[in-house]
Chains A and B, each alone.
Chain A
Amino acid sequence: DIVMTQSPDSLAVSLGERATINCKSSQSILSGANNKNFLAWYQQKPGHPPKLLISWASSRESGVPDRFSGSGSGTDFTLTISSLQAEDVAVYYCQQYYATPWTFGQGTKVEIK
């Protein structure tokens, strides 16, 4: 199985400040066939299902605010919230869909400082 490891487990950021979450895969999830990284980022709020924010490591979904951005390739990835808003308080997960079983990081809880 591909192990996904996120850091930190939690972080507290002031409103308007930048939040950065890292995700590392135990093996490369970059496809040589299409040069795409099979990585997604999700946001989950209590009592709600996960919401897809970013796919292919850096492609923002329609309707997702542009303060959310994804970067990285191979085994190391980052989700950045450029200016944290109150509604961004949630748990964020990375997920690889390169090989089954699909696996998620353990989650990063983002709070307001």
Chain B
Amino acid sequence: VELVQSGAEVKKPGSSVKVSCKTLRGTFNTFATNWVRLAPGQGLEWMGSIVPFFRTTSYAPKFQGRVTITADESAYTAYLELNNLRSEDTALYFCARPRTDYYDSRGHDALDVWGLGTMVTVSP
């Protein structure tokens, strides 16, 4: 299984960004696609996840209201959209999926497949 992410983005404060994550060579719709970011000088931060088949999304309270995670099952692709960008959102955004599908673990599993990351820079 491989997760292929979209390319780097440069955005203005107050704008939005949408990052994609395509699953290659693996099941897509019954696995949770998670989004995790790494800001400069900071640690890993989980933002939310989606399980397409069950239409289930979960968001970290910190990002609730500002982030939307969606999926296109036909394209094996998940999306992260972050609105009202500020400089603190400058970070490397990763998608990742757990070892087991939602039937087995309800998403409660370690993340063993990761995309390479998408750099989002927020700058005036």
User: Chain A interface mostly helix, strand, loop or mixed?
Assistant: loop
Q: How far is the CB of A3 from the nearest CB of chain B, in Å?
A: 12
Partner of A40, one of B38, B59, B110: B110
Q: Which of B9-17, B22-30, B42-50, B74-82 lies at the interface with chain A?
A: B42-50
Residues of A in contact (CB 8 Å), total 25
| Contact of A50 with B108 at beta-carbon distance under 8 Å, contacts A55-B99, A101-B60, A102-B34 already known | no
Q: Tell me if A68 is interfacial: C-beta within 8 Å of chain B.
A: no
In the assembled complex, how far is the CB of residue B102 from the closest CB belonging to chain A, in whole angstroms?
13
B107 cross-chain contacts in A, Cβ below 8 A: 97, 100
Contact A97 B110 (CB under 8 A): yes
Q: Are B116 and A102 in contact (CB under 8 A)?
A: no
Interface centre among A55, A61, A106 (most CB of B within 10 A): A55
Q: A95 CB to closest chain B CB, in angstroms?
A: 7
User: CB distance A103 to B61 under 8 Å?
Assistant: no
Q: For chain B, what secondary structure do more than half of its interface residues adopt (helix, strand, loop), or is it mixed?
A: strand
Are A104 and B108 touching (Cβ within 8 A)?
Answer: no
For chain B, give the interface size range. 20 to 34
Residues in A neighbouring B45, C-beta threshold 8 A:
104
A9 to B53: give the CA distance in the assembly, Å: 40
Q: Of the candidates B34, B46, B94, B117, which one forms a contact with A103 in the assembled complex, judged by CB atoms under 8 Å apart?
A: B46
Name B residues whose Cβ lies closer than 8 Å to a Cβ of A: 34, 36, 38, 43-46, 48-49, 58-62, 94, 96, 98-99, 107-112, 114-117
Q: List 20 A-B contacts (CB under 8 A).
A: A1-B61, A40-B111, A42-B44, A44-B38, A50-B44, A50-B94, A55-B112, A56-B110, A61-B112, A93-B43, A95-B111, A97-B98, A97-B108, A97-B110, A100-B49, A101-B46, A104-B45, A104-B46, A107-B43, A107-B44
